[in-house]
Structure 1
Amino acid sequence: MCLNTIFDSSHKLVLLAFVAALSVQTCALAVEFPDPITKCHFADEKCMIEQAQKLMKKAATGVPERDIPALEPLELGNIEMLGDKNSALKVDLVMSDVECYNYTKSRITSIKGFSKDLSKPMKVVTQNINPRIIIKSKYKVNGNILVLPIRGEGELTMILDNVKTRFTTTLTVEERDGKHFLNSDTFKVETQVDNVHIDMTNLFNGDKTLSETMLQVMNENWRLLSDDLTPVINEALGNKMKELLKKFFKDIPYEDYFLTD
């Protein structure tokens, strides 16, 4: 009797441990979109835009359950632009501790490309528009703009008006335990800007006259600088977005992205 009682107790303990372990595993696999994001029917672009807009708003203060830090401001690290010695813009510019403000206030206008065919990569294209984005950083610059020399080291502020952005990402599919998980393989960013206003502190070691003259030239010829600087900023932005997408996609099966009814 005593041996049977001990056996029954041990059996129950093993069974309880197994059930508990199974419950933990089930909870770990049942990863959902962060609240308040909800699922959409497949190809319901209006719904996807609404949910992406909610995610953008939530991401401003961070999404800890997806390991996504606060994106307001959006930190882009260091950016370096080396001027073309054969062009009118012969400037070497190093920006450090780059921060992008107001990015999460972008209005998403289009999401296309998600597919039911998982046998090949998906090309997903997203577009948004933002009335004003502000970029701040420390800077160090040396070179020539047009025929004027420029040098300095201090704080840089760029104000970008009416920014239209197009994101193109190639999503590959990885199969794990019978489920399919997305991975951002490539990420390309393209932008159009209506105007850029630039301010730099401590140009020419703080010489007010030279600084004001140079800033006037830069702002009157903002597109010249923007054409060279925008691609390197877009590259940094693309790398950041690719990193964030990897975190978002890593443990939510693609099968769980959309409503089935």
Structure 2
Amino acid sequence: MKGLLLVVVVSLGLSQGAKLPEKWKQCPPGDGWLDCLREAVEFAITTTAKEGLPSFGVPMLDPMHFDTLLIDQSTGPVSIKLEFKDIDVTGMKDLIVNNIKGDWKEWHFDGVIPPPLSLTGGYVIQGKVLALPIVGDGKCNLTFHDFKWSPINVKFKEETKKGKRHLLIDDISLNPETSLLEMDFQNLFNGDKMLGKQMNIFLNENWPEIFGELKPAISKAFGTAYKDVGNRILSKLTAEQVTQM
């Protein structure tokens, strides 16, 4: 899996022995540092999404691939267990970073993807949506319009291993927003085309309520994934390497 934080970590400047791509901007402390950093992070994310970063072992970020993504919502109007399998998320290459602020205790980001953000792959679902039962196993496509994380809050912590200090991610909270969610779940109700069609219509007509109920689960799932990716990188760097600009 790949994610936003991986690129953010790389873009902030590493050790003297690590080389950033020549076109990437580095931002020394001083006036305009946050504006410079916003531009640098956006450029790093979008170019890595398109090209990857082989020297750091980073593949392309667009599409992002998840082997599995579980949303387990046991209470409320939308009470479902939804597992996505072998899914690709496309749209990271179009990310716009509106602002970035904070210090090395906590960071805050706003990220917007104006073109649709798409999630495609397999799924298994069982439960109830607004009192209606739902069950299915097949392919799916979810399209988020004007998608944004507003904000992404990242808290850091320090750990010492083998005498070296490391800056790791302690917690990530995400607030997803979208102007429209379009859903297409194939093979609902064991392939009953009539019931499947009606359920997809129902889901799309009631997308705001469904998205609102699923936001906490979506935030938790993606936050866990991004934390894991970020710490895979941070654990290989000392705290001094990460915070030097």
TM over 0.5: yes
Which residues of structure 2 form unaligned runs of 5+?
1-14
Structure 1 stretches (4+) deviating beyond 4 angstroms?
173-181
Q: Report the Cα offset of residue 39 of structure 1.
A: 1.5
Q: Secondary structure at the match of 1:46?
A: helix
Aligned residues: 224
| Structure 2: distance between partners of 1:255 and 1:240 | 20
Deviation sequence 1:27-81 (CA, Å, 0-9, x none): x952233443231122611111111112112321321222222211112332223
Whole-angstrom distance in 2 between the partners of 1:71 and 1:256? 24
1:92 is matched with which residue? 81
Match of 2:12 in 1: none
Q: Tell me which of 19, 22, 34 is aligned to 1:32.
A: 19
Give per-residue Cα distances to partners, 1:218-237, cap 9 Å, x unaligned.
11111222123333332232
Answer yes or no: is the 8 Å Cα contact 2:144–2:178 preserved in 1: yes
Instruction: State, as a whole percentage, how many aligned pairs show the same letter.
Output: 23
Q: Which residue of 2 aligns with 1:80?
A: 70
Residues 47-58 of structure 1 aligned to structure 2 (within 5 Å):
47-58=36-47
Conservation of the 8 A alpha-carbon contact between 2:148 and 2:176: yes
> Shift in Å at residue 153 of structure 1?
0.8
Q: Give me the whole-angstrom Cα distance separating, in 2, the residues matched to 1:104 and 1:91.
A: 31
User: What pairs with 1:30-179 in structure 2 (closer than 5 Å)?
Assistant: 30-42=17-29, 44-60=33-49, 61-84=51-74, 87-114=76-103, 122-131=105-114, 132-165=116-149, 166-173=151-158
Question: Are the equivalent residues in 1 in contact too, given 2:46–2:92 (CA < 8 A)?
Answer: no
Q: Which has the higher relative contact order, 1 or 2, with Cα contacts under 8 A spaced 6 or more apart?
A: 2
Q: Within 1, Cα distance between the matches of 2:183 and 2:160?
A: 47
Structure 1 unpaired stretches of 5+: 1-27, 116-121
RMSD: 2.7
> TM-score, normalized by length of structure 1?
0.75
